Amino acid sequence: MKLVVGLDVGTQSVKLIAYDPAERRVVAIHGQALELIVGADGSREQKAEWWTDAIRACFAKLDPVLRARVAAIGVSGQQHGFVPMDATGKVLAPAKLWCDTSTQRECDDIMAAAGGAGRCVALGGNPILAGYTASKLPWTRRHRPDVYRRLATIMLPHDYVNFWLTRERWMECGDASGTGWLDVRTRRWSPPLLAATDPERDLSACLPPLVEADASFPIDPAIAGELGLSREVRVSAGGGDNMMAAIGTGNVAPGVLSMSLGTSGTLFTCTDHPVVDDKAGWAAFCSSTGSWLSLICTMNCTVATESVARAFGFSARDGDAVMSGTAPGAGGLVLLPFFNGERMPDLPHARGSLHGMDAGNLTRGNLYRAAMEGATYALRNGYDAWLAVGLRFDAIRLTGGGSQSAVWRQMVADVFELPVEVPAQAEGAAFGAALQALWACENAGGAHADFAAIANEHVLVDPGFSARPDVVNTPAYRSHYRQFLRHLDTAKSFYTNRHVAGAA
């Protein structure tokens, strides 16, 4: 039987899932950690070769018998990163990542040139926020002029991995939505937004062609040989990690709400039409299935819990045990988890802050819980924007590393006051990439497969990981969430004024 492979190229690691669709069974999961280049100015970068080296390592761990059965590969990649390439396909500099906040000045410049944030929403569906790809171009022009001069191709992380696998250049609309240049309504590049980024250069000439979500390409024979794969393997269009996580949680039709608790925190829901918010309360993206994906993204989720765990010398895997004996509200501690700045709310210069300390509550258990609560409250704050426009959901599909914590699953159920379901495959982005590869492979054979049917067949919920709102804890969380919002209002005032003063 043939296998499909999903690769998730994340910030902290690369993960590989090999899936047998006939048996509906994951036959192998492998991972390889990644390094991160951190700058005091908010920069976050990685070298593109780290991703491909990690992919090689993952395939080397995969049994050769399984490798020989692989028919298709799908790639999920961290969104918004900028991989600059010259005309020969050489990478010119480290990739600036989604969590890089060093380009806020460039965000402001682009939006001013386009006519303001509202005009950007009118042109493309989204403002140019911290971390989006667009701002990384003028930053590169300013700080790495030789790289910008030699730039021939703009790629996102998953685009680059696809290029490495196939030697073909392309983009798909889901991940392209996060550049800031795509008009999500028409699925076409916006010339005014490209011109606002660089009025002296035609950046469209640097962008790979856009392809349909079910497109696939043959693997490069040399790479196939290096990885121990058949030369008949096809590589699907792939997509951003949020788009792939939507697929991996079965969020491919309207009415499903998914949450990913990873390095970043995300909420997303599939729609059959673009849902653009004039006030930019959420991101209006395309999906990687031919539909659209409304998305709320915070830049700090497991970043917060892992930072606290590291400071106290324990592993986040032991976090639930560390929190034993603590209660909702963390003894009065409130953590604003803005370790990487923040995108939603738009506070790129913000930093994490701890409030409510006294002589009795400053324990590692309370502080770890405060980090988890803060990351959850930040997502609830974004969710409130959807409630305000009348969106309603019956349950949350949970994925990402945080979904493995029983305490966190219950906390999400209590804070959002919704039942929580966890798909059997915890690595939602990698699994979603594998399912997209399956879909593309079937369509390449002329099957015209329905993605919703594929998701219904292969995305299974693990009932042992479900959680329902607790009637005792839910009121406590409501009160503590209001306290979080009060501290957030103060932070908004402080960091907005700080930014304005600094700019002056």
Which among 100, 241, 346, 414 is annotated as catalytic? Answer: 241
d(CA 400, CA 174): 19
What region does 106 belong to: left with phi over 0, alpha with psi -120 to 50, or beta?
alpha
Nearby residues of 373 by Cβ (< 8 Å), 6 or more positions away: 328, 329, 330, 334, 335, 411, 415, 477, 480, 484
Is 159 catalytic? The answer is no
Q: How far is CA 303 from CA 183, 261, 326, 401, 502, in A?
A: 31, 10, 21, 11, 27
C-beta pairs of 137-144 under 8 Å, 24+ apart in sequence = 137/82, 137/106, 137/197, 137/198, 137/203, 138/103, 138/106, 138/109, 138/110, 138/197, 138/198, 139/96, 139/102, 139/103, 139/106, 140/82, 140/84, 140/93, 140/96, 141/198, 142/106, 144/92, 144/93
Indicate if the alpha-carbon torsion angle 44, 48, 51, 54 is positive or negative: negative
Nearby residues of 72 by Cβ (< 8 Å), 6 or more positions away: 2, 4, 5, 216, 233, 234, 235, 236, 437, 438, 440, 441
Q: Are 23 and 449 in contact (CB under 8 A)?
A: no
Catalytic residue IDs: 241
